[in-house]
């Protein structure tokens, strides 16, 4: 009887020590490293609203994709707009047979108005002396005012884009400058966005 009690106490102590050892082990947790906002504007270019269209983009498909960290702060802002300066590689452009990814800084401008929320992307390809500006007219209230502090998603997504009818009028369009000439084309298609979090393994907690 005495020996059975000793074995029982020894077993309980072993279990307790094991539990304490497991509790003391470091716990590996996941931390959000931040989110990347991705916006894609795509559709058919045309009609020609101004200029001679030396690249022959009228009637061609066009796509502009931007990736921006949601931790960015605007480099310029007002009560209803924010300008974000993006690093090289943030914007990819496909227009007809032309395609490039920015190798220098680019811009993303969000403007909130009662008639539309607009997204303007400005990208340059110094190799060919080409500058492209894409302007997407989204539904009003697509963004909340938080987009004026950091890049964030719009809703609903996707949205239909209606081509502008005048170079300086409302509606979605693509402007480009090359060989010293300026061209503006309408853009009819869609705009969509998403954001994703990058996860890192954390240390001990």
Average pLDDT, the chain: 85
For residue 181, give both structure tokens: 């000439």
pLDDT band, very low/low/confident/very high, at 117 (cuts 50, 70, 90): very high
pLDDT of residue 57: 97
Cα separation of the two ends of the chain:
45
- In the chain, what are the domain boundaries? 37-197
The pLDDT tens digits for 18-74 are 334 433 444 333 334 579 999 999 999 999 999 999 999 999 999 999 999 999 999
pLDDT of residue 126: 87
pLDDT of residue 196: 85
Residue 14 DSSP SS3: helix
**Residue 191 in this model has a pLDDT that exceeds 60:** yes
pLDDT of residue 18: 38
Among the listed ranges 52-66, 100-114, 148-162, 188-202, which one has the minimum average pLDDT value?
Answer: 188-202
Enumerate residues 6+ apart whose C-beta is below 8 A from 195: 35, 36, 37, 38, 70, 152, 153
pLDDT of residue 127: 85
**Residue 114 in this model has a pLDDT that exceeds 60:** yes
- Give the global pTM: 0.80
DSSP state of 152: -
pLDDT of residue 98: 87
pLDDT of residue 197: 72
pLDDT of residue 133: 97
Whole-number Å distance between alpha carbons of 2 and 189 = 86
Sign (positive or negative) of CA dihedral 161, 164, 169, 175? positive
pLDDT of residue 198: 55
CB 55 within 8 A of CB 176: yes
Considering only residues 33 and 117, tell me which one the structure prediction assigns the higher pLDDT: 117
pLDDT of residue 116: 98
Whole-number Å distance between alpha carbons of 116 and 85 = 22
Whole-number Å distance between alpha carbons of 97 and 71 = 34
In the chain, the percentage of residues whose pLDDT exceeds 90 is 75
**Residue 187 in this model has a pLDDT that exceeds 70:** yes
CA 165 from centre of chain: 27
């Amino acid at each position: 009887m005495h020996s059975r009690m000793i074995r029982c106490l020894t077993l309980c102590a072993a279990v307790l020590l094991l539990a304490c050892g497991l509790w003391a082990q470091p716990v590996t947790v996941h931390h959000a490293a931040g989110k990347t906002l991705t916006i894609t504007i795509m559709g058919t270019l045309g009609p020609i609203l101004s200029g001679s269209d030396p690249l022959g983009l009228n009637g061609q498909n066009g796509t502009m994709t931007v990736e921006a960290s949601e931790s960015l702060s605007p480099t310029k802002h007002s009560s209803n707009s924010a300008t974000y300066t993006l690093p090289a590689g943030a914007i990819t452009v496909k227009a007809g047979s032309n395609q490039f990814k920015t190798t220098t800084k680019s811009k993303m401008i969000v403007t909130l108005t009662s008639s539309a929320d607009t997204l303007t992307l400005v990208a340059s390809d110094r190799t060919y002396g080409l500058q492209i500006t894409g302007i997407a007219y989204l539904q009003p209230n697509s963004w909340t005012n938080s987009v004026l502090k950091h890049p964030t998603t719009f809703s609903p997504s996707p949205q239909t884009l209606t081509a502008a009818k005048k170079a300086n009028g409302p509606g979605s369009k693509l402007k480009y400058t090359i060989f010293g000439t300026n061209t503006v084309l309408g853009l009819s298609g869609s705009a969509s966005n998403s954001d994703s979090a990058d996860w890192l393994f954390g240390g001990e907690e």
